[in-house]
Amino acid sequence: MNRINELFAKKGDKRILSIYFTAGYPTLDSTLDIAEALEKAGVDFLEIGFPYSDPVADGPVIQHSSEAALRHGMTLHILFEQLKALRKRVSIPVLLMGYVNPVLQYGVENFCKSCTAVGVDGVIVPDLPMYEFEEHYRPIFEANGLSNIFLVTPQTSEARIRKIDDLSTGFIYLLSSSATTGKNLAVSEDTTTYFSRIRGMGLKNPVVIGFGISNQETFIQATDYADGAIVGSAFVRLLGEADYMEKIPRFVRQLRD
């Protein structure tokens, strides 16, 4: 088991909290400082986004952070150089999240090997087709001990969800809606029916809800139906403020307490 599996195996009744932020934002060299601060504040696992020039699934806050990170010069090569010190400073699970184009340019096998070399536990690439992963890349991920995380939306069929569950080795990322990131979670009858439907399927993998989780209320609402929840845009917005490092412990505490 890698760190992701160990986390969920030991979670008990705990509501798992994950935070997403963009590598290279707000400064090129801030990535590890933020990661370390989040672990110290009590976050259970991290998602570090690698920026891309056309982030179609992201709302304006994360789009802005990606644009800024690219202006600062962030690339996958630079990120992996920075992450060489990751496991000297961070012990919780870490995933990289981004789009498939930079991964293909870097080389899928090289990317996976680089992830393993620096201690990354899993990858979320929303636009990597499931068929391509299964037919071409699954052995590479498995050889490097990497979990590939698939996304499920309200429109995903039961057959596809079952297939995702079979292919998954970490958790399943359940999108609260089909909107872009940064929209507030609206817990309607349709949403709760959707969450309940997934919970009732008896999936073998843990489920983590993302998109729209921004405060304690939405974190609790999401984790009433799932093993954990991911906060992204709300935290990235904080990173645009003055003295953001000093504000991280309070931000996490307000989600938890």
Q: What is the pLDDT of residues 136-148, one digit of tens each?
A: 999 999 999 999 9
With H, G, I as helix, E, B as strand and everything else as coil, classify residue 60: helix
As a whole number of angstroms, the distance between CA 255 and CA 248 comes to 11
Alpha helices in the chain (DSSP H): 3-9, 31-41, 60-72, 76-82, 86-89, 100-106, 108-118, 130-132, 138-143, 158-167, 189-199, 216-223, 233-239, 244-256
Annotated catalytic residue, options 47, 67, 121, 132: 47
Does the domain at 15-256 match CATH 3.90.226.30? Answer given as no
Residue 226: which of 68, 16, 27 has the closest Cα? 16
Summarize the confidence of residues 22-40 as an average pLDDT.
98
Question: Residue 181's pLDDT is what?
Answer: 47
**Mean pLDDT taken over the chain:** 93
Residue 37 pLDDT > 70, yes or no? yes
Tokens, residue 129: 């087709």
Torsions phi, psi for 182 (to 5 deg): 95, -10
As a whole number of angstroms, the distance between CA 257 and CA 198 comes to 27
Residue 63 pLDDT > 50, yes or no? yes
Q: Count other Cβ atoms within 10 Å, centred on residue 53.
A: 11
**Any idea what the Cα angle at residue 5 is, between residues 37 and 125, rounded to 5°?**
75
Question: Residue 190's pLDDT is what?
Answer: 76
Question: Residue 124's pLDDT is what?
Answer: 97
Contact call for residues 199 and 175 (beta carbons, < 8 A): no
Residue 189 pLDDT > 80, yes or no? no
Annotated catalytic residue, options 36, 39, 44, 58: 58
Spans of all domains in the chain: 15-256
With H, G, I as helix, E, B as strand and everything else as coil, classify residue 172: strand
**How many percent of the chain have pLDDT more than 70?**
95
Torsions phi, psi for 54 (to 5 deg): -130, 70
Sign of CA dihedral 164, 170, 176, 180: negative
Residue 182 pLDDT > 80, yes or no? no
How does pLDDT run across 71-129, given as a tens digit for each residue?
999 999 999 999 999 999 999 999 999 999 999 999 999 999 999 999 999 999 999 99
Q: Of how many residues is the chain composed?
A: 257
As a whole number of angstroms, the distance between CA 2 and CA 4 comes to 6
* Active-site annotation holds for 47: yes
Q: b/e string for 215-236 if b means 16 or more Cβ within 10 A?
A: eeebbebbbebbbbbbbbbbbb
